[in-house]
Amino acid sequence: MAVNLDKEAYYRRIKRLYSNWKKGEDEFGKVDAIVVSVGVDEEIVYAKSTAIQTWLFGYELTDTIMVFCDTKIIFLASKKKVDFLKQVAMTKGNENANGVPPITLLTREKNESNKANFDKMIEAIRGSKEGKRVGIFSKDKFPGDYMKSWNDTITSGGLEKVDISAVVAYAMAVKEDGELSLMKKAAAITSEVYSKFFKERVMEIVDADEKVRHSKLAESVEKAIEEKKYLGGADPTTVEMCYPPIIQSGGNYSLKFSVVSDKNHMHFGAITCAMGIRYKSYCSNLVRTLMVDPPQEMQDNYNFLLQVEEELLKHLKHGVKISEAYNAVQEYVKKEKSELASKLTKNLGFAMGIEFREGSLVVNSKNQYKLKKGMVLSVSLGFADLVNKEGKKDEQKKYALFIGDTIQINEEDAATILTPVKKKIKNVGIFLKNDDEDDDDEDGDDAEELLGKGARSAALLADRTRNEMTAEEKRRAHQKELANHLNEEAKRRLTERQGDHQIQKARKSNVSYKNMSQMPREKDIREMKIFIDKKYETVVMPVFGIATPFHIATIKNISMSVEGDYTYLRINFYVPGSSLGRQEGNIFPNPDATFVKEITYRASNLKTPGDPSVPSTNLQNAFRIIKEVQKRYKTREAEEKEKEGIVKQDSLVINLNRSNPKLKDLYIRPNIAQKRMQGSVEAHTNGFRFTSVRGDKVDILYNNIKHAIFQPCDGEMIIVLHFHLKNAIMFGKRRHTDVQFYTEVGEITTDLGKHQHMHDRDDLYAEQMEREMRHKLKSAFKNFIEKVETLTKEQLEFEVPFRDLGFQGAPYRSTCLLQPTSGSLVNTTEWPPFLVTLDEVELVHFERVQFHLKNFDVVIVYKEYNKKVTMINAVPVNSLDPIKEWLNSCDIKYTEGVQSLNWTKIMKTIVDDPEGFFEQGGWSFLDPEGEGSGAEEDSESEMEDETFNPSADDDEEQEEEEDSDEDYSSDTEDSNFSVESEGSEEESGKDWDELEEEARKADRDSQYVEEDTTTASNTNNKKRKLRPSVPSSTPNKKKRRR
């Protein structure tokens, strides 16, 4: 047999078996020898005899008898197997073999009864301890004459048989590191097959409304493990199913692993799926329930089942009795939802390893075995025979919920889940129904009953033709509902916040000297020269012969010029009314005081006899030093301002475990220093730590992360982990709310001078290497994310952008691809990043939406009206419909218009008088099809013209506003005329007489329109002078011409 045997593993494990035997606990204390006999039976998948062979040798050895005595071990096998076992029989020079009983190898004779070999083994058993009782695995019964004759020999020898299955299973239950890695790999493959194949297939079936039998779907899962893409790089020959996948739905549920998938069609309700995959002889298991349009009660029961599993995992720890963990869960269910206690599965799991189910280590109320660190269990719990009160058909009335995972027992912490497949309601729920579809279903059922199955499709088709709304109509109806809800919600929110007034911050008063004793006594001051006190950051200047100190903060700017024989130094000061910048606030502590606005000093450039230096030297030195002090002061102020409002974070709790999720060779943005530096990101107990190669550290706590975005490298040159924070953190002397870690996956720059050919081997090889690198990085990042989500118990979830829903736009200076995620709209590949939280969005307005324009702009208005609106420019017009569809699906109200609006002024008007704004229709002024259209449209257009005029400045007078209104109305007339004249010119293929007649008609029409519009404009202007700046809610009775 040209197969290598892991000798070190054999020695370790045989020592463990003997040490447990010598302790003499439970059944081990009752036996004098242990007999393991394995025959040939293709139908037996799991047996303790074959499991112990695989555990010791890594292979199953058929027709082999093993006898473990007190002082020696005897193997009886065929010649090839004896050659294989010689690898462990020869112990010379191997230190690990110390303490292991010597092995005697007996070769089985095929043509003989093997009586001589059997006698030798019986003799060895009699010589072991008392030689009366042998330990066997009573459930393992192999057919064939060879096994029968051996069993007869034991019986005839008068030896008493004792079943030691449970104690051997307990000895094997604690897994070594190598075994754990195999089981983790098996669990990962199971997760991949479930996520990438089964779940996707169920989604396809539901979407297409296919009829698929449970048994056929189970077969397709079994075939899927033959494809390498689902196996995470594992060799398909090392992978097999632990049991045929069990898929159940439609009211027929049995929450056990001994059942098989029936031949009924899959029902779109609660669909349970159990599957387990075996990798290199080690098992794993996963159970999930997918729910199609689950009613609220089903969702509540499912969420409670998740809580029950969490409770179970808390109790499954090293040293805890299995029965105690089970009873704790039972008590929890009775306390929280007593009506579900009787519905809970009788067993909550079992130990797992080489054998799929270890019968002696089942999680139930009777099991007295204690859990040990390193054990691996399959926990599976569910509620059976639940009643769906909303169900109408038989298959809808009953349902079951079933979840399960492969877990590893830890010493102190709760058990670790090895199958990190998301199982929250949003991950397993498939929501399809709406009211229209419900009506269609009812009509369809009636048609089937009345007309029979053959006529049903025709009846439905006719019904849809008459009644079914188009996608655009449905969207408009939904938007109308959102508009009503939006105004009500916004009004309520603003009313609640009415008491909150922003306190405007006064400008900080900087005092140079608190008393005269601090005033410097320098020679320059006595000589009436300008002196700069660097210690107190003060400029002492002579004013009317008196040395007067001015703090550096009061100086706005300085300038120096030379004109002829004189040098001039001009110093400008901050005074009330001067612009201090938007963020600084221009409120002075005492604005009624008298302020110095500027001072100019003049000094001669000519040196007079007797003077030690040129007089202008003092001004030149003062100019230079003031600039230096001013720069230092502004830098310090900027740093203090950055630190202002920083929320103190908790300390990072370092996890010293080496198996922490970790990613190496990443760059951080924004940079810590001038140059970008590589480093590694490691996940700890309560947050991430980035450590650069230079030793800089940046900590990001899980509870401070608002959005965690994973941007894969598909179609991108970098792969990114982006964190948008709730509260800013400080590093690199600046505050940051967006931090990302990335690495490059391809060449950002291309050498255009290089000669390229499509069949160039070097280029083909480079492309292949890049593809492999992309795949490798993607897998590494995904693995990191899954581990982090498991570590945080899915409290931190990474969002992945939907590239298919992405659209081009320019939120900053350059155009980039903006992609929606489940809770945000992001672009993380460009810097600065762009991120909008959808929950914070009030509405979205599309500007410049016109047929002859290729682009339009998107304005995002936030629920916090004091926050500046976000503008996305230059969005291609072909993205308009997809964006509308996406916003509609997210329940976000959108509107559109043909012109750009002055949003600063609009938002100021709303914040100043929210009640007046909502009394006059609120946001309906943006919607041309809202309730404000028709009779009230005039007043709305007046509101846009006057209050929200984008061209008007904040300081304009009312007369200027009226002039702009008149200009706007005349522009409208011109545009109306041009549209009509364009329409007539576009027609072709007519003779001159017809064209002349049309021209005359067009002139008459345009004259009429012009007169009518002029009258309307005059009427509007009269009205404007009478009404206040806020538009009136009274409908205007004036007739409009379309």
pLDDT higher at 1001 or 220: 220
Extract the tokens encoding 492. Answer: 């309520």
Q: Where are the alpha helices (DSSP H) in 110-231?
A: 115-126, 145-156, 165-173, 177-192, 199-208, 214-224
pLDDT recorded at residue 674? 81
- The end-to-end CA distance of the chain, in Å, is 94
pLDDT higher at 636 or 508: 636
> Residue 495's CB: how many other CB atoms inside 10 A?
12
Scan for tokens 């009924």, then name that residue. 264
If you average pLDDT over residues 1010-1038, what whole number do you get? 41
Task: Give dist(CA 238, CA 1037) in Å, integer.
Answer: 82
Instruction: Report the range of poorest mean pLDDT among 423-427, 430-434, 841-845.
Output: 430-434
pLDDT recorded at residue 275? 95
| Statement: residue 943 has pLDDT above 70 | no
Scan for tokens 């349970």, then name that residue. 272
> Residue 839's CB: how many other CB atoms inside 10 A?
9
If you average pLDDT over residues 447-465, what whole number do you get? 41
Task: Give dist(CA 311, CA 325) in Å, integer.
Answer: 9
Task: Give dist(CA 720, CA 713) in Å, integer.
Answer: 8
Dump pLDDT digits (tens) for 35-65.
999 988 877 888 999 999 999 998 899 999 9
Contacts by 776-781 with C-beta closer than 8 Å and gap 24+? 777/713, 777/719, 777/743, 777/745, 778/712, 778/713, 778/719, 779/232, 780/663, 781/663, 781/710, 781/712, 781/719, 781/721
DSSP string over 375-398: BEEEEEEEEEEEE-TT--SHHHHE
Dump pLDDT digits (tens) for 975-1007.
343 333 344 344 445 667 777 778 877 877 665
| Statement: residue 433 has pLDDT above 80 | no
If you average pLDDT over residues 73-78, what whole number do you get? 93
If you average pLDDT over residues 212-220, what whole number do you get? 94
For residue 189, which of 458, 12, 420 has the smallest C-alpha distance? 420
Question: Are the beta carbons of 315 and 329 closer than 8 angstroms?
Answer: yes
If you average pLDDT over residues 436-440, what whole number do you get? 45
If you average pLDDT over residues 658-667, what whole number do you get? 89
pLDDT recorded at residue 467? 45
| Statement: residue 584 has pLDDT above 80 | no
If you average pLDDT over residues 252-257, what whole number do you get? 92
| Statement: residue 557 has pLDDT above 80 | yes
Task: Compute the C-alpha angle 714/718/719, nearest 5°.
Answer: 70
Dump pLDDT digits (tens) for 912-926.
888 888 888 888 888
Dump pLDDT digits (tens) for 681-702.
999 989 999 999 999 999 999 9
pTM above 0.85, yes or no: no
| Statement: residue 648 has pLDDT above 90 | no
Scan for tokens 């959005």, then name that residue. 707
| Statement: residue 475 has pLDDT above 90 | no
Dump pLDDT digits (tens) for 477-501.
888 888 888 888 887 777 776 655 5
Task: Give dist(CA 49, CA 35) in Å, integer.
Answer: 9
Mean pLDDT in the chain? 81
For residue 554, which of 523, 599, 515 has the smallest C-alpha distance? 599
Of the ranges 139-153, 761-775, 841-855, the best mean pLDDT one? 841-855
pLDDT recorded at residue 657? 78
Element (H, E) at 37: strand 33-38
Instruction: Report the range of poorest mean pLDDT among 187-196, 575-584, 944-953.
Output: 944-953
| Statement: residue 579 has pLDDT above 90 | no
pLDDT recorded at residue 875? 95
Scan for tokens 């008590």, then name that residue. 331
Task: Give dist(CA 464, CA 467) in Å, integer.
Answer: 5
Q: b/e map of 262-283 (b: 16 or more CB within 10 Å)?
A: bebbbbbbbbbbbbbbbbbbbb
Instruction: Report the range of poorest mean pLDDT among 446-450, 785-789, 901-905.
Output: 446-450
CA 245 from chain center: how many Å? 30
pLDDT recorded at residue 673? 84
pLDDT higher at 1025 or 557: 557
pLDDT recorded at residue 384? 93
